[in-house]
Structure 1
Amino acid sequence: MPTKPTTYAALLRGINVSGRNKVPMAELRSLLEGLGHREVRTYLQSGNAVFTADRPPAAGAEDELAAALETAIEGHFGFRVPCLVRDHGYLAAVAADCPYPAAELEGKQLHALYLSAPVTPERYAGIDPESYRPEGFALGDRVLYLHAPGGLGTSKLGEALSRPALHKGLTVTARNWNTVVKLVDMTAPTP
């Protein structure tokens, strides 16, 4: 029996920022197609790609898809780009489980920091949430929700959460809430 195709989102970290790690979206689409993926689409210039693959969302499948894409990018562009791959079910759960009133906030006020592995609250024990109010953060399944009412560019909590030592051993890539919702829509099964 053939495997039912699954739609995934690839979240690339740190491309097309300040002229560094330039990855044109047309070339990213071609790379994904070269890996055998279908229905490849990109969203914005910041490293969001959606594709269909004959890989069910089983244990390890997302990591294997991400590793193949990282290798392809390095081979084509000459630099390594950390990637996370997530299926529609996971992306929809992240949106549904958000502890902040997403419908009441502007997209720039709420962010999802996607993590490559689960983390425990102890990792963030050194950050006192009270000292950053009205900003706040909460952990979910391989995601950290960041509420930054003034936007990420001026967020002191966002700055504290972006310290490399805090995420040692993890790939972390942030998306504003508009992108979170768009990726849920783009990966949704078609009727």
Structure 2
Amino acid sequence: MRTYIALLYSIVLTPQRRVVMADLKAMAEGLGFTNTRTLAASGNLVFDAPEMPIRELENQLEAAFPDAFGRHVDIIVRDAAGWPAFAAGNPFPQESAETADQVAVRVMRQPVPATALDALESYAAADEKIALVNGDIWIVFSRERPNSRLLGAVGHKRLGIGTSRNWNTVRKLADMVEL
């Protein structure tokens, strides 16, 4: 058995319905996953499953999701053993310590090529920062601009399937899976 982290793209299904974490756990347990637990009410699931390719786990979760919740949601899975190193690779430690809620990472299903970084930087405001680490996009968002142009620039249509998590969530997931 291995421990995995599943990150849902969006837990808002309709304006009236959100994914309830107890229901998400039940769905995962219905797939035979064990030791299921969630972090907050924001679509983060940690579970144990037999060792298998990540894409197979994503397929299983995504196939079960419409039956449980009524529509498709993209789900990114990572091996939990690598999550602490992922968190330690945060290229913005000072900003994370000062304003953790303004630092986020777009966790990608397929790595974003380095060539995309130049195009993304053109969307960043003067007080924003962006970095590419192992194919995932780390961003320090502006405190002055609540509607960053980077949000649209890192979306599915441009870069492929991914989901964003703020530094607090990344750090708490690392705490959950560290032995």
Is the aligned partner of 1:52 residue 2:58? no
CA contact (8 A) 2:89 2:133 kept: yes
Is the aligned partner of 1:175 residue 2:165? yes
AA in 1 matched with 2:20: P
TM alignment of 1:5-16, pairs within 5 A: 5-16=1-12
Is the aligned partner of 1:126 residue 2:126? no
**What is the alpha-carbon distance in structure 1 between the residues aligned to residue 5 and residue 39 of structure 2?**
10
Per-residue deviation, residues 48-85 of structure 1 (Å, max 9, x unmatched): 011111216xxxx2111111001011122221010011
Identity of aligned residues (%): 31
Q: TM-score, normalised by structure 1?
A: 0.82
TM alignment of 1:158-173, pairs within 5 A: 158-167=150-159, 170-173=160-163
1:24–1:8 CA distance, 2 compared to 1 (3 A): same
> What is the count of residue pairs matched by the alignment?
178
1:105–1:89 CA distance, 2 compared to 1 (3 A): farther
1:94–1:16 CA distance, 2 compared to 1 (3 A): same
CA shift at 1:20, angstroms? 6.2
Alignment equivalent of 2:39, drawn from 24, 43, 50: 43
**What is the alpha-carbon distance in structure 2 between the residues aligned to residue 185 and residue 100 of structure 1?**
19
Q: Which residue of 2 aligns with 1:79?
A: 71
Q: Aligned to 1:9, what secondary structure does the other structure show? A: strand
Alignment equivalent of 2:130, drawn from 133, 137, 149: 137
CA shift at 1:99, angstroms? 1.3
**What is the alpha-carbon distance in structure 2 between the residues aligned to residue 163 and residue 95 of structure 1?**
21
Is the aligned partner of 1:91 residue 2:83? yes
Between 35-44 and 87-96, the greater mean CA deviation after superposition:
87-96
**What is the alpha-carbon distance in structure 1 between the residues aligned to residue 17 and residue 170 of structure 2?**
22
Alignment equivalent of 2:177, drawn from 184, 187, 190: 187
Is the aligned partner of 1:32 residue 2:22? no
**What is the alpha-carbon distance in structure 2 between the residues aligned to residue 158 and residue 121 of structure 1?**
16
1:21–1:68 CA distance, 2 compared to 1 (3 A): farther
CA contact (8 A) 1:112 1:144 kept: yes
1:133–1:39 CA distance, 2 compared to 1 (3 A): same
Q: TM-score, normalised by structure 2?
A: 0.87
AA in 2 matched with 1:119: V
CA shift at 1:25, angstroms? 1.0
AA in 2 matched with 1:13: Y
CA shift at 1:106, angstroms? 2.2
AA in 1 matched with 2:70: G
**What is the alpha-carbon distance in structure 1 between the residues aligned to residue 158 and residue 72 of structure 2?**
21
